[in-house]
Amino acid sequence: MNRPEDLHSPLRRAGEDRVDPELLVSRFRDQSARVVVMDRSTAHRLESAAGKYDPARHIYLGHSGAADALAGDPGPHEWFAVRDTVVGPGLRETPVATEPLLRDLLTTTAAILAWHDTTPHCEACLGASQPARGGFIRVCLDCGAWLFPRHDPAIIIAILDPQDRLLLAHQASWAPNRVSIIAGFVEAGESLEQAAGREVGEEVGLHLGSAHYVTSQAWPFPRSLMLGMVGTAAGEPVPDGVEIQWARWFSREEFTAAVDSGEVIAPSGRSVASRLIKAWLDGTLPRHADLEPPSAEPSSEEPSSD
């Protein structure tokens, strides 16, 4: 279900250029330089670079080619990001899914600026730190340690039962009728599979029988990485009643009818949840039988236990 264009970002990060401060100064001065200005609420605006490059404030995001230019602003471009007050739409109001370059500029800006906001001190000695290498690391002023941006991994999993029905759940905090698949953050020391098994047990009381990684999405609220999986379970879900209000299995026909009638509102756009559900609908997601083959009959040649 991953398309070829999902494998390469139109934002060329040019990590090798981050080590050259003079190069970044000249890129910032270039006519083609653009800045993503974003405040802490994720309100943002794209504008031409102006003034002086400040390595303590400006993040060098990389460049984009002419073929990937945003509507109304022919490229190529050099891209920077900066934290500042700005009037503009927030990330939740921006249709980032329709423009891959804009999506990647905004998710990267949100993630890296949030990391700088929350990591002023060294993780080793708690000394003060400052940005370096185009803003993609921080260096401790006391002990010299290099600090790298952190991600918060979360899993989201399409769970299938033996009839190949999909489990959909409604969260108490969501608008009425909105449903999605089960998701949750990976806790310290867990594998993705263990996080999936724990979340499914906690939220809907089911025993996860298998779990496989499928695809992922940067989730800029503020710096998560959503890892899409597919797995299997059986039996009636028992919602926890706190986070999950109700959950039930849907066949493809039941799901389509429920969406058409407005009984449920499903995830849309290019979110991982939406992509996994679409793949289940059109048969490109592995089926239950692919994930959990029926156990073979015991062989007659197997040694008997007595």
DSSP the chain: ---GGGGS-SSB--GGGGG-HHHHHHHHHSTTEEEEEE-TT--EEEEE--S---TTT-EEEEEE-GGGPBTTB-S-EEEEEEE----S--GGGS-GGG-HHHHHHHHHHHHHHHHHHH--B-TTT--BEEEEGGGTEEEETTT--EE----EEEEEEEEE-TT-PEEEEEETTSPTTB-B-EEEEPPTT--HHHHHHHHHHHHH-----EEEEEEEEEETTTTEEEEEEEEE--S-----SSSEEEEEEE-HHHHHHHHHHTS-B---TT-HHHHHHHHHHHT-SPPHHHHSPPPPPPPTTSPP--
Kindly tell me which of 146 and 174 has the beta carbon lying closer to Zn ion.
Answer: 146
Question: Taking the complex as a whole, how short is the minimal distance between the CB of residue 115 and Zn ion, in angstroms?
Answer: 16
Task: Give the residue with the Cβ less far from Zn ion, 58 or 138.
Answer: 138
Q: Choose between 97 and 125: whose C-beta lies nearer to Zn ion.
A: 125
Q: Which of residues 122 and 169 has its CB atom nearest to Zn ion in the complex?
A: 122
Q: How far is the CB of 190 from Zn ion (least distance, A)?
A: 28
**In what order do the strands lie in the sheet containing 137-140?**
129-132, 137-140, 146-147
Residue with tokens 């849907």: 250
Residue 50 or 56 having the CB closest to Zn ion: 56
For residue 119, the minimal CB distance to Zn ion (Å) is: 12
Minimum distance of Zn ion from residue 122's CB (angstroms): 3
The minimum distance between CB 126 and Zn ion, in angstroms, equals 7
Binding site for Zn ion (CB under 5 A): 122, 124-125, 127, 140, 142-143, 145
Residue 127 or 162: the one with the smaller Cβ distance to Zn ion is 127
**How far apart, in Å, do the first and last CA atoms of the chain sit?**
49
| Cβ burial, residue 61 (10 Å; 0-12/13-18/19+) | buried
Instruction: Give min distance, CB of 15 to Zn ion, in A.
Output: 23
Q: Which is nearer to Zn ion, 47 or 142 (CB)?
A: 142
Q: Between 125 and 132, whose beta carbon lies closer to Zn ion? A: 125
Distance of CA 118 to the CA centre of its chain: 20
Minimum distance from CB of 146 to Zn ion (Å)?
10
Minimum CB separation of residue 189 from Zn ion in Å reads 24
